[in-house]
Structure 1
Amino acid sequence: MGYEHDTRVLEGLALLRVYGYGLCMGTADALPGVSGGTVALLLGFYGRLLAAITALTPARVGAVFRGVKPAYRKTARESLLEMDLRFLLPLGAGMVTAVAVIASAVSALASSHPVALASFFSGLIGASAIVLYRSVSIATRGAVLAMVAGISLALLVGANVIQFPVTGLWMVFVAGVVAISAMILPGISGSLLLILLGQYVYLSGELSAFLSGLAALPSGGSLETLVSPGTTVIVFMTGGVVGLLTVARVVRRALDWQRNLTLVFLVSLIAGSTPAPLINIVEGQAWSTEAILIGTGWLVVGAGVLFGLNALAGGFDPE
């Protein structure tokens, strides 16, 4: 009995540790310029994460659902083990917890301190581009073209020359596909891509409203207040699942085929996205001398935080 008790305690501690991994990864993913994939590399579980995500195939999911019939239960158990859900579920729970907390903070700060928030994010993004450029080679004509293409595309999108719908469920779905796919790539921030698509503050607000509505239910809150933000959250998560099963695999194949060119393009997207937070969050802001000083200060703070993390971690490298 004592042995069984000790085993359960050890298993519980292992799940708690994975949940802690999820908290760290979710915090990184929720901040533009910092990548959850980098955190996974630093904490030593990136290989297991990639293997588990790659194992999430429609065939295995179907095998699990067929396990309700006794004849298919052995195959269902094997599929569950291959997908490593004992790792993915607590990791996902930790990520959701961290993202929810940060989304609420971002939603509030976007209204109360937009200049400081946008400048801080731009500092994070610009510094991450500088750090990541050290890990790629731009010595060939192809690499230079990839760099120009990535920076140009990001600048055109950030400046609203290439425009995406600001709201709408279809755009939320696309944002989920793109952002979740980026989350598994070290050095590439899913939140940064949400900023580039003009969805970051909007989705943070929707998630915050959904969580506030859930918290208000026990004290007499209305279910009707959950419908709109809840729909947005579900559509985004659906896009994320589709992204993991499709786009993430395409990016991985591109890395296997032309690793340096792919990384140069991705890092250049980051570099070109540096002004995007200021464009998307502070559009129409009156730029007084005080606002410029505040913005410059928080830009420096954001860059300093990223450079500090890079120094503590011994360097951030894209996968």
Structure 2
Amino acid sequence: MGTPSKRAKKDYALLTFKGMAMGAADVVPGVSGGTIAFISGIYDELIGSIQKIGPHAVKLLFKQGVPAAWHYINGWFLLAVFGGILLSLKTFAALITLALDSQPLLVWGFFSGLIAASIYLLMSRLGSHRWQNYLSLLIGALFVYAISIASPAQLPDDNWVLFLGGFVAICAMILPGISGSFILLLVGLYPVFLNAINTVDIAALASFGSGCVAGLLVFSRFLSWLLSRFHDITIAMLIGFLIGSLNVTWPWKEVVTTYTNRHGEEVPLLQQNVLPSTFSSIADQDSQVFLVAAFALLGLSLVVVLERWASKLK
């Protein structure tokens, strides 16, 4: 593909399609939009363009005008990619919501397979096996596990929480291996985010969107610095996050307490993991063990195939 100034309309249409693939990935916990960006060959340009959004771009805007600043940040490229992401989020959020309502056990089994594959692939990429890396991994796993078993406050519906969720989740756009929806899942914002998209909740989407913008401008630079200075330790902690998250995506759960959200719906507040046999007796429904295992294997295979494709392209 040519340079930004020489791109044709069909090139931008292809960029939009790649952005849609990234958005589809970020809806699903365990799949990284950054991984899709790498597979599709736009990762380096995406990171470089995002990092140019800053003081120098503002200076160009006031001194030389909009065209100069727009060209400096590779604006048409960013517009095409993020436009595709936004288009995809609306479509796939509705599909995931329907799937979670109709077949929650199979969906969570699929998510668990995605995350298990990410753990395996990231472990194979660790450059060294020093004790510091394993300590970082352990800290990350314990941190996420502690979050998953803690009694959550009734915060998911608050806009300031959505802002923070967007701020942290946007790291998925620049970091292959961990997804934004995975971050939302950890902090209890995943169903809130899906509902905001499906119902076009302007206040909630504005809060989340402003958090994403802030994250792109601030947190992306911090993560880039961590990876450049402490690469293996950072990757190890991310692996720990993924390991701890398997406690979150375990399909068979017992609802301990519920609360009423802003829409008047009664939703789970605190859940605990149970064995499939226990789930069957509690919920009075089939635990679907073999189907869940099959969907977990499907999710695992999907990530492995995508990563092998990426390696061949590289």
Query: Do they superpose with TM above 0.5?
Result: yes
Match of 2:288 in 1: 294
Contact 1:119/1:302 (8 A) holds in 2:
yes
Partners of 1:15 and 1:251 lie apart in 2 by 28
- The whole-number CA distance in structure 2 between the counterparts of 1:282 and 1:246 is 39
SS, match of residue 236 in structure 1: helix
1:125/1:192 contact within 8 Å kept = no
Deviations 1:13-51 (A, max 9, x none): 011011011011111111111111111111111110000
- Correspondence 1:125-144 to 2 at 5 A: 125-137=115-127, 139-144=129-134
The one-letter code sitting in structure 1 at the alignment partner of 2:13 is L
- Equivalent residues of 1:115, 1:294 under 8 A apart: yes
Paired letter, 1:123: G
- Give the corresponding residue for 2:262: none
* Compared CA separation, residues 40 and 282, structure 1 to 2 (3 A): farther
- Contact 2:26 2:180 (C-alpha < 8 Å) held by counterparts: yes
Give the counterpart letter for 2:91 in structure 1: V
In structure 1, the partner of 2:185 is: 195
Query: Which one of the candidate residues 273, 277, 281 is aligned to 2:249?
Result: 277
The structure-2 alpha-carbon separation of the partners of 1:295 and 1:194, relative to structure 1 and needing over 3 Å to count, comes to: farther
Identify if the C-alpha distance between structure 1 residues 136 and 184 changes in structure 2 by more than 3 Å, giving closer, same or farther. same
Over residues 218-246 of structure 1, what are the superposed CA-to-partner deviations in whole Å (9 max), with x where a residue is unaligned? xxxxxxxxxxx110001100000000111
Counterpart CA distance in 2 for 1:84 and 1:96 is 18
- The answer to whether the Cα contact below 8 Å between 2:114 and 2:303 also exists between their aligned partners in 1 is no
Measured in 2, the distance between the counterparts of 1:279 and 1:147 equals 24
Rounded to whole Å, the distance in 1 between the matches of 2:222 and 2:306 is 32
By how many angstroms is 1:163 displaced? 5.8
Distance in 1, matches of 2:153 and 2:310, equals: 31
CA drift at 1:316: 6.5
Residue 32 (structure 1) aligned with residue 32 (structure 2): no
Alignment: residue pair count: 284
Aligned in 2, Cα 1:308/1:104: closer, same or farther, shift over 3 Å? closer
1:254-293 C-alpha deviation (Å, 9 max, x unpaired): 1111100000001210111012134898745881178564
User: Matches of 1:102 and 1:266 in 2, distance apart?
Assistant: 26
The residue that corresponds to 1:54 in the other structure is 51
Compute the RMSD of aligned alpha carbons. Answer: 2.6
- State which drifts further: 230-239 or 265-274: 265-274
User: What are structure 1's unaligned runs of at least 5 residues?
Assistant: 1-8, 67-71, 211-228
The one-letter code of the counterpart of 2:224 is R
Whole-angstrom distance in 1 between the partners of 2:195 and 2:293: 23
Contact 2:165 2:208 in 1 (8 A): yes
On the 8 A contact 2:34/2:176 being kept in 1, the answer is yes
Cα pair 1:169 1:235 within 8 Å, conserved: yes
Partner of 2:300: 306
Output the amino acid matched with 2:210: T
* Matched residue SS, 2:82: helix
What is the match of residue 3 of structure 2?
A: none
Report if aligned partners of 1:60, 1:79 keep a CA contact under 8 Å in 2.
yes
Structure 2 unaligned residues grouped into runs of 5+:
1-5, 257-270, 272-277
Tell me the TM-score normalised to structure 2 length.
0.82
| Higher normalized strand content (fraction of residues) | 2
Are 1:255 and 2:227 matched, yes or no?
Answer: yes
- Offset of residue 312 of structure 1: 4.8
How far apart in 2 are the matches of 1:202 and 1:182? 18
Change (3 A) 1:161 1:251: farther
Structure 2 partner of 1:101: 91
Query: SS at the partner of 1:268?
Result: helix
Q: Deviations over 1:173-227 (max 9, x none)?
A: 00000111222101111111110011111110111011xxxxxxxxxxxxxxxxx
Greater CA drift, 257-266 or 95-104 = 95-104
Letter in 2 for 1:308: L
User: How far apart, CA to CA, are the structure 1 residues paired with 2:220 and 2:286?
Assistant: 39
The answer on 1:268 being equivalent to 2:268 is no
- Summarize the alignment of residues 181-192 of structure 1 with structure 2, pairs less than 5 Å apart: 181-192=171-182
Higher helix share: 1
Q: 1:145 aligns with which of 135, 158, 164?
A: 135
1:44-83 pair list within 5 angstroms: 44-61=41-58, 63-64=60-61, 66=62, 72=63, 74-83=64-73
Is residue 31–residue 303 contact of structure 2 (8 Å, CA) maintained in 1?
no
Distance 1:273 1:292, change over 3 A: farther
CA contact (8 A) 2:112 2:299 kept: no
